[in-house]
Amino acid sequence: RDLFTLDLPGGRLRVCLAATFVARARGLLLTACLPADHGLLILPCRSIHTMGMRYPIDALFVDDRARIVDVRANLAPWRSAFSRDSSAVLELASGAAAAFDLRLGDRLAELVPLVAGR
């Protein structure tokens, strides 16, 4: 998987890119936890599920201009979430969206080359 770093208001976030069918399907399944400074960017993506997961996550739905169009904080295991306006989903450890000071409407400029035109 491709790894990159986002410099955010609350610190640095190490992000793994899930852009292939297999990587998107696997997502965070089979992981024991997601470290607070790590995330998974699923691209393209409008809906996610936490079926089979053992821990909650924060899900940030991002549009093709890299704006956060929906935030699902503390999404529990065995749930799903959808945003028709999203092009990608950034999955974070539960509580990480607040810790990194990420909010609805924020633009993640470093993601523009990845999400533009999706």
Q: Is the pLDDT of residue 18 over 70?
A: yes
Distances from the Cα of 65 to the Cαs of 34, 42, 76, 111, in angstroms? 26, 15, 28, 8
Give, for 78, the enclosing helix (H) or strand (E): none
* Whole-number pLDDT of residue 1: 58
Q: What percentage of the chain carries pLDDT values higher than 70? A: 97
Per-chain mean pLDDT for the chain: 93
- Residue pointed to by tokens 């990608």: 88
pTM of the model: 0.95
CB neighbour class for 41 (10 Å; exposed up to 12, middle 13-18, buried from 19): buried
41 is written with which tokens?
A: 């960017």
